[in-house]
Amino acid sequence: MVHKLPELPYGFDALAPVISAETIEYHYGKHFQTYIDNLNRMIEGSPYEDMGIDEIVMKAGGSIFNNAAQAWNHDFYFQTLSPVPVEMPENLETALTGAFGSVSDFKTAFIKSAATLFGSGWAWLCQDKEGHLVILPTQNADNPMTQGLKPLLTVDVWEHAYYIDYRNRRAAYLEAVWNIIDWHKVAQRLI
């Protein structure tokens, strides 16, 4: 099957000033598109040709894994951002408070994990098989599903996600992006 760039649920300028239209133009329009294009080129005639992206992420290695996982991760990231503030639903607030002490403690721990991740990668909130919430940083394209975890939230901390708007200030990007997370979508993913 030919994979297509998923549509954004908002306009290119809808997340400004937290994320500018120029960043979306490059990050979504070029980086994300390139992962999709590479994936389509690489799976042609391979055992992965007829698989969905989730299945490729779980089964492939090397360059095919990298491009499939980056496609998955970017879709998840962009779908979890909102141009209008979304209040955190009570079930998520309760779960985060139970796991991390408070929503504020979760924010501190999540941002610390994302800010201190060395090099390129992603910061995740996941749920393990017992339902426990865990914060997980992953390198490069890595995706928590391959570790048996269910992703609930991710923030992209590759430099291309923030360099146009924040230059080297990754922590400032993380603080700002916090305010445009669609907590309703995060809550819906809780098992």
The distance of Cα 163 from the centroid of its chain, to the nearest Å, equals 17
> Using CB under 5 A, which of the segments 40-48, 61-69, 102-110, 150-158 binds Mn ion?
150-158
Contacting range for Mn ion; rule: CB under 5 A; set: 38-46, 88-96, 149-157, 167-175: 149-157
The residue (of 33 and 40) whose beta carbon lies closer to Mn ion is: 33
| For Mn ion, the closer CB: 100 or 110 | 110
85, 86, 80, 68: which is closest to 9 by C-alpha?
80
φ/ψ (deg, to 5) at 153: -155, 140
Q: Give me the phi and psi of 124, to 5 degrees please.
A: -125, 150
Question: Quick check: 165 binds Mn ion (CB under 5 A)?
Answer: no
* 141 token code pair: 């394209």
Any contact of residue 75 with Mn ion (CB under 5 A)? no
Q: How far is CA 75 from CA 8, 141, 151, 172, in A?
A: 9, 13, 12, 23
CB closest to Mn ion, residue no:
156
Q: Does the footprint of Mn ion cover residue 158 (CB under 5 A)?
A: yes
**Closer residue to Mn ion, CB minimum distance, 66 or 100:** 66
| 88 vs 103: CA distance, rounded Å | 10
Stretch that binds Mn ion, among 91-99, 143-151, 159-167, 182-190 (CB under 5 A): 159-167
Q: Does 156 help bind Mn ion (rule: CB under 5 A)?
A: yes
Q: How far is the CB of 121 from Mn ion (least distance, A)?
A: 10
State the distance between the two ends of the chain, measured CA to CA, in whole angstroms.
Answer: 30
Which C-beta is closer to Mn ion: that of 161 or that of 186? 161
Burial of 16 by CB count in 10 Å (0-12 exposed, 13-18 middle, 19+ buried)? middle
Considering the complex, what minimum distance in angstroms separates the CB of residue 135 from Mn ion? 19
Q: Looking at the DSSP assignment, which residues form a beta bridge with residue 121?
A: 139
Minimum CB distance to Mn ion, residue 86 (Å): 22
Q: Which window, 40-48, 79-87, 151-159, 173-181, contacts Mn ion (CB under 5 A)?
A: 151-159
As a whole number of angstroms, the distance between CA 187 and CA 99 comes to 14
* Side chain identity at residue 50, one-letter code: D
- Residues lying near Mn ion in the complex (CB under 5 A) are found at 156, 158, 161
